[in-house]
Structure 1
Amino acid sequence: MSTYLHLRAVPPPALRNSAAWLERLFEGDLEIVRDRAGRHREEVLDKRCLDQERIYAGVLPHRAEGRPENQVVLGGRPVFRADRHKPPFLVLTAAQARRVAGFLAAADFDELWNFARAALLPRYGGVGAEPDAWQAFEVTHRELREFYVQTAADGDAVVKWLPDRS
């Protein structure tokens, strides 16, 4: 799998509003990360995460940036890096992570899929490939739900990072 997006849980007292600190958070091995953030829990998504976001973004007819379904994958407050050509980090507070966890815990994946399937199926092999596409998106949904539910239970914030593509 080609890493496209990292979501990392961070205890709020350890979180810094500094791009340099956030860059260091994603450097090094897992032991160093545990030292910096207090514990390690992350979810790693491939490029399909851009389409995974469609599943959640389509839940309501009118998107509102503060809604939990719009924060699951790519939502969050941007923390811009010194090099503005690099994507910003995205940060969800512990309260926002709890709302996302609540949304994902209550969401019915089949309903989410049914809303997004017409837009997604042509990109993933059409109707004949729907069982495989459904399974891939459902597995990611389940992993994201588990990540956010555990993050919320621990009272952690979430930092998201799109690795540099240079």
Structure 2
Amino acid sequence: MSMYFHFRAIRPAALRNSPAWLEKLFEDDWDAVRERIGRHREEVLDKGYLDHELLYAGTEGGDSPAAQVVLGGRPLPHPDPALPPFVLLTAAQAGRVAAYLAAADFDDLWLDARDLLLKSYGGQEAEPEIHGAFAAAHRDLTAFYGQTAHYGDAVVKWLVP
């Protein structure tokens, strides 16, 4: 699998502010990750994660739940400066993101970002396929954050090389 953006739910009491500890969270093989995804304890976005950010955050920024769905949170630098930082969302932030996603209407989000997204994915001819892929990712992210909020967990994100 090529580079992807990885989300992992973590109990707040278990969360460490250590880059080495955070890196270990993402060392599992793909089969272990896939099993946790099935339980909505983990989620991944492929290399199009920046496009998902556009779908949610658009021009919003800062601490809004929409801006925290994909890339938002507190960055913690990786020990290797050539690698991207880890990103942490507190349990309260993850709960706000879950509430935002539960209330968000995907078709409204799609309409706002549609023209920009279709330019990157082959134009109007590709719309049914692209719409379906983004809708599926939206459902997966909504389930992930909903389950995370249900358990009161924090979220750690990392762009896995």
**TM-score, normalised via structure 2 length:** 0.90
Partner of 1:134: 131
- Alignment of 1:44 with 2:41, yes or no, is no
Partner of 1:14: 14
Q: Which amino acid aligns with 1:81?
A: H
Which of 87, 99, 121 matches 2:96?
A: 99
Structure 1 Cα separation of the partners of residues 28 and 110 of structure 2: 36
Runs of 4+ in 1 over 3 A off after TM superposition: 28-31
Deviation at 1:85, TM superposition (A): 1.5
Partner of 2:148: 151
Structure 2 Cα separation of the partners of residues 65 and 26 of structure 1: 26
Q: Which amino acid aligns with 1:7?
A: F
Query: Which structure 2 segments of 5+ residues have no match?
Result: none
3-state DSSP class of the match of 1:160? Answer: strand
Structure 1 Cα separation of the partners of residues 83 and 119 of structure 2: 30
Structure 2 Cα separation of the partners of residues 157 and 90 of structure 1: 11
Deviation at 1:28, TM superposition (A): 3.3
3-state DSSP class of the match of 1:81? Answer: coil
Q: Which amino acid aligns with 1:163?
A: V
**Shift in alpha-carbon separation, 1:79–1:122, aligned structure 2, 3 A:** same
Matched pairs, number:
155
Structure 1 Cα separation of the partners of residues 27 and 85 of structure 2: 16
Higher mean C-alpha deviation, range 22-31 or range 106-115: 22-31
Deviation at 1:40, TM superposition (A): 8.2
Structure 2 Cα separation of the partners of residues 116 and 10 of structure 1: 31
Q: Deviations over 1:90-115 (max 9, x none)?
A: 00000000000000000000000000
Partner of 1:121: 118
| RMSD value, Cα | 1.9
- Alignment of 1:79 with 2:76, yes or no, is yes
Structure 2 Cα separation of the partners of residues 147 and 28 of structure 1: 19
**TM-score, normalised via structure 1 length:** 0.87
3-state DSSP class of the match of 2:160? Answer: coil
Report if aligned partners of 1:16, 1:22 keep a CA contact under 8 Å in 2. yes
3-state DSSP class of the match of 1:73? Answer: coil
Q: Which amino acid aligns with 1:73?
A: V
Query: Which structure 1 segments of 5+ residues have no match?
Result: none
Deviation at 1:129, TM superposition (A): 1.2
Percentage identity across aligned positions?
61
Q: Which amino acid aligns with 1:46?
A: D
